[in-house]
């Protein structure tokens, strides 16, 4: 069985690719299970409405710190052990959330869960290390499909499971999934020890990240593009439930959960984007993806809101937006993983950390725009995010960046 997953193969075996795709989906879902349950969890823990956002904020903060401080260890430590260790940290945190009945234990567990969940950003460069340059985009694309499926399915799954059982059951179930995945990875994942680490210490590793961001224009540009794109994604999925619950559509929590399932279809763009990148078509694919994201906000105004047909258009917009964001995510990671292999952990950490800032800005902007100008204001602000990314992308020619890459 171990030969199926031999790490020296030109492309990881299909079984291994599927396994890693499932792994990133299961891990990433932990960041979003609590989002649709904020009101319920905050009420159960006695958290004031004005502070209810902290239910998810502590997990996000932990994840951001994990990405910056732990993901770079992939350039220093054996990757398999690092991934499994962080997954088990997440399992302990999930059990802490499941048993929490007061604020302090919940916030502590949520923070630790975010740290453990950063393992997902070690799995992706791990797969890139095992893949040849000619097929790297395809493999990364497959993993990004798993990532986006995990993100998009987490919200409706947690909503439906809470309706059937309780919000505690969501975390128990995730802990079981994570434990099972960790055991499978322990059995079948090939080890991967970074090379040339004799003179590298953790402090030096972290200190080098600032210099990498400044001196690596491909990383810097791709990270900023995706920060704006992910900002649009978070803006949409923060404001869309508010819009759907309003008097315009009067959807229930279960109906909104079903709506969220529709966005999953956008994840299919990931393998296609990866293949286009492998064929040297990253530029055109990036432009199309950014235009799709802009169009996704515009199409929601084609019909008068409130009808079933208009709701169908909103579903189409969600799919179009998610497809565009997923495509640029894959194209960006394909680009940075083509740089020096010994820096991949740090490069990916910087890439994801920058995206995370964009996502946080988008979530805030979505709530602000909807509160101050309804859906019209939300779509205008939302379209500005990918539009800004597209304008910045075009400066590649003005600054000579495009020429310098040839």
Domains of the chain, each with CATH number or no CATH: 1-200 (1.20.1250.20), 202-406 (1.20.1250.20)
pLDDT at 300: 94
Please report, in angstroms and rounded to a whole number, the separation of the first and last CA atoms in the chain: 42
Rg of the chain over Cα atoms, rounded to whole angstroms, equals: 21
Question: For 377-393, how does the pLDDT look when each residue is reduced to its tens digit (9 = 90+)?
Answer: 999 999 999 999 999 99
Total Cβ atoms within 10 A of residue 109? 23
Mean of the per-residue pLDDT values of the chain:
82
Total Cβ atoms within 10 A of residue 247? 6
pTM > 0.85? no
Task: Tell the burial category of 141 from Cβ atoms under 10 Å away from its Cβ (0-12, 13-18, 19+).
Answer: buried
Report the distance separating Cα 361 and Cα 34, nearest Å. Answer: 19
pLDDT band at 99 (very low <50, low <70, confident <90, very high): very high
CA distances (Å), origin 102, targets 56, 116, 131, 159, 356:
15, 22, 46, 21, 28
> Is the Cα torsion angle 196, 199, 202, 207 positive or negative in sign?
negative
Structure tokens at 102: 């007061």
Report the distance separating Cα 177 and Cα 171, nearest Å. Answer: 10
Report the distance separating Cα 53 and Cα 39, nearest Å. Answer: 9
Question: For 294-308, how does the pLDDT look when each residue is reduced to its tens digit (9 = 90+)?
Answer: 999 999 999 988 889
Structure tokens at 340: 């020096």
Task: Report whether pLDDT(139) > 80.
Answer: no
Query: How many CA within 13 A on the CB side of residue 3?
Result: 0
Report the distance separating Cα 18 and Cα 264, nearest Å. Answer: 17
What would the mean pLDDT of 357-369 be, rounded to a whole number?
82
């Amino acid at each position: 069985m171990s030969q199926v997953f031999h790490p020296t193969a030109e492309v990881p075996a299909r079984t291994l690719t599927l396994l890693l795709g499932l792994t990133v989906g299961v891990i990433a879902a932990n960041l979003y299970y609590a989002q649709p349950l904020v009101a319920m969890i905050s009420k159960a823990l006695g958290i004031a409405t004005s502070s209810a956002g902290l239910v998810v904020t502590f997990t996000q903060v932990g994840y951001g710190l994990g990405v910056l401080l732990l993901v770079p260890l992939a350039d220093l430590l054996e990757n398999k052990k690092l991934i499994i260790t962080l997954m088990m940290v997440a399992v302990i945190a999930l059990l802490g959330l499941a048993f929490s009945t007061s604020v302090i234990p919940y916030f502590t567990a949520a923070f630790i869960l975010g740290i453990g969940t950063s393992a997902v950003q070690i799995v992706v460069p791990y797969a890139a290390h095992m893949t040849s340059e000619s097929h790297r985009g395809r493999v990364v694309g497959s993993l990004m499909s798993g990532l986006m499926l995990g993100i998009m399915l987490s919200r409706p799954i947690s909503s439906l499971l809470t309706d059937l059982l309780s919000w505690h059951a969501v975390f128990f179930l995730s802990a079981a999934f994570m434990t099972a995945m960790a055991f499978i990875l322990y059995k079948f994942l090939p080890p991967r020890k970074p090379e040339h680490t004799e003179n590298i210490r953790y402090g030096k590793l972290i200190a080098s990240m600032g210099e990498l961001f400044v001196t690596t224009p491909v990383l810097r540009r791709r990270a900023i593009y995706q920060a704006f794109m992910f900002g649009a994604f978070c803006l949409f999925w923060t404001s869309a439930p508010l819009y759907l619950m309003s008097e315009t559509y009067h959807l229930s929590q279960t109906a909104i959960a079903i709506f969220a399932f529709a966005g999953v279809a956008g994840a299919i763009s990931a393998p296609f984007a990866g293949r286009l990148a492998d064929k040297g078509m990253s530029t055109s694919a990036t432009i199309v993806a950014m235009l799709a994201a802009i169009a996704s906000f515009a199409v929601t105004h084609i019909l008068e809101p409130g009808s079933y047909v208009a709701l169908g258009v909103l579903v189409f917009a969600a799919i179009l937006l998610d497809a565009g964001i997923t495509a640029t995510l894959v194209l960006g990671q394909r680009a940075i993983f083509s740089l020096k292999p010994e820096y991949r952990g740090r490069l990916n950490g910087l890439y994801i950390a920058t995206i995370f800032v964009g996502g946080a800005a988008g979530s805030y902007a979505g709530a602000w725009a909807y509160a101050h100008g309804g859906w019209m204001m939300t779509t205008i602000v939302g379209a500005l995010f990918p539009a800004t990314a597209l304008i910045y992308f075009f400066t590649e020619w003005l600054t000579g960046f495009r020429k310098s890459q040839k």
